[in-house]
Amino acid sequence: MKSPSHSPQGRRPDPRRADGARPGKPPARNPTRVAALALLTAVLERHRPMEEALDALPPSDPRDRAAAHRIAAAVLRRLGSLDAVLEPFLRREPPPEVRQVLRIGAAELLLLATPPHAAVASCVDLVPRPFAGLVNAVLRKVGAEGAAALEDLDGERLDTPGWLWTAWHKAYGPGVRAIARAHRLPAPLDLSLKAGTALPEGAVLLPTGTVRLPAGTRITELPAFIEGAAWAQDAAAALPARLLAARAGERVADLCAAPGGKTAQLAATGAEVVAVERDPTRILRLRENLARLGLDARVVQGDATEWDPGHRFDAILLDAPCSATGTIRRHPDVPYLKRPTDIPTLAGLQGPMLAHAAKLLAPGGRLVFATCSLQPEEGEAQAANPPAGLLPDPIRAEEVPGLEGAITPEGWLRTRPDLWEEHGGMDGFFMARFRAAE
């Protein structure tokens, strides 16, 4: 008679689980998924920006960090749809940590083409043991039935928080769907280059002069970046400085200057640039970026509503603090960090900043007001009521090749994420230009 501890073939059964771990011994958790879970927890439960959470992660392989960011970003871009797919397979709401893990698994299975076994096993290992069976069962069902369910959903609506959908529908009508579609895709890498720098291999030169590379390109591996000849800057974000058209020798102020992309553009013209920033932490980043690029600008700490150097400027760029809803394609955490009440609060700050900037202009001087927001309260409403002494200076079609349709009847520029869809889109920005009375 064979011992009951033996299989019918006379061999002991392998005590390891299918993923190789032994019973009673905690499995080794995948570092990429651990980091992705930390990022989602930071954004959705603690309301911290994902970049800040990424910086706070323990030291790890840069590829693990990049992969974790990719997973977390995919979840945030399609959060509503992923929850809708998961819902039929959950009898009750799981604890927050388990919910985040299920979202990670669903994103990997349905959006990121992760092999099913790897996606399911790594997520099972992330949760406390009492929930391992639940995660295993739910994700197996998602793998089998989720793709068809995802296709049937109104993803554009589900993946956009209700208050933003309502605001954008009011502002842009049916265009809200095109905006929502653009937010579901990873943004390409956009670069500004110093004059004379060769285009990186595989790059495309956009009509406005920005250089574009595919999404996922590692900027730190590009020779132009390593040599201090390039910096990351969305095609729309590069436009305000272009529209200011600073010239060598002019006195130029960049208010609210960090992290420094626009300051770098202005300094590269040969203008005498003063970069003003209130936040000391952001000043450090501003200085680091200028030093890496070898560009000269005087950096000062100051509040844009009251700073006064005692002289006037030929040109001023005011990229005012805002809700940043125009940058969601690059920062998919934004919809989950902002609230409807933030909009009037931020708009209330922008008006005084614009009024003070107007006082710093020399007679005939130029001012560009910009916000990276899709909310009209933070753009069109501000430009419609400029401070006394500021005269409209309409943007001309030849200044923004390929974006002629983005010029408003008032001569302002309104970009949206769905513009240049064939090129990969752009951030949502508002820009208005003024001149000081002579």
Domain with 95 in it: what CATH number? 1.10.940.10
Mean per-residue pLDDT over the chain, rounded: 93
Same domain, 69 and 209: no
Q: Which helix (H) or strand (E) holds 117?
A: helix 116-124
Order of strands, edge to edge, in the sheet holding 204-205? 204-205, 211-213, 189-193, 230-232
Burial 181-220 (b: 16+ CB within 10 A, else e): bbbbebbbbbbbbbeebeebeebeebebebbbbeeeeeee
Q: Is 303 annotated as a binding residue?
A: yes
Q: Is the pLDDT of residue 11 over 80?
A: no
Same domain, 211 and 142: no
**Mean pLDDT, to the nearest integer, of 51-63?**
90
Q: Is 261 annotated as a binding residue?
A: yes
Same domain, 219 and 151: no
Q: Is 277 annotated as a binding residue?
A: yes
Q: Is 363 annotated as a binding residue?
A: no
Cα of first residue to Cα of last residue in the chain, in angstroms, is 107
Report the percent of the chain where pLDDT is more than 70.
94
Of 156, 175, 210, the residue that ends a domain is 156
Same domain, 375 and 416: yes
Tens digit of each residue's pLDDT (9 = 90 or more) over 344-365: 999 999 999 999 999 999 999 9
Q: Which domain holds residue 425?
A: 189-436
For residue 334, give the nearest of 375, 284, 291 by alpha carbon.
375
Question: Is residue 248 a part of any domain in this protein?
Answer: yes
Same domain, 311 and 206: yes
Of 114, 132, 156, the residue that ends a domain is 156
Q: Is the pLDDT of residue 258 over 70?
A: yes
Q: Is 410 annotated as a binding residue?
A: no
Q: Is 257 annotated as a binding residue?
A: yes
Half-sphere exposure in the Cβ direction for 86 (13 Å, CA):
27
pLDDT for residue 29? 87
Give the Cα separation of 141 and 104 in Å (integer): 15
Which of the residues 372, 403, 413, 426 is marked catalytic? 372
pLDDT for residue 59? 86
Q: Is 170 annotated as a binding residue?
A: no
Same domain, 222 and 341: yes
Give the Cα separation of 149 and 141 in Å (integer): 11
Tens digit of each residue's pLDDT (9 = 90 or more) over 276-291: 999 999 999 999 999 9
Give the Cα separation of 66 and 115 in Å (integer): 19
Number of structural domains (the chain) is 2
Q: Is 322 annotated as a binding residue?
A: no
Q: Is 260 annotated as a binding residue?
A: yes
Domain with 271 in it: what CATH number? 3.40.50.150
Same domain, 132 and 196: no
Q: Cβ(220)–Cβ(241) under 8 Å?
A: no
**Mean pLDDT, to the nearest integer, of 203-225?**
96
Q: What are the percentages of helix, strand and coil residues in the chain, rounded to 5?
A: 45, 15, 40
Same domain, 394 and 251: yes
Q: How confident is the model at residue 422 (pLDDT cuts 50, 70, 90)?
A: confident
Q: Is the dihedral of CA 328, 329, 332, 335 positive or negative?
A: positive
CB atoms within 10 A of CB 51: 12
Q: Is 14 annotated as a binding residue?
A: no
372 a catalytic residue:
yes
Question: Is residue 149 a part of any domain in this protein?
Answer: yes
For residue 123, give the nearest of 25, 58, 30 by alpha carbon.
30
pLDDT for residue 16? 41
* pTM (global) more than 0.85: yes
Q: Cβ(50)–Cβ(43) under 8 Å?
A: yes
Give the Cα separation of 357 and 240 in Å (integer): 15
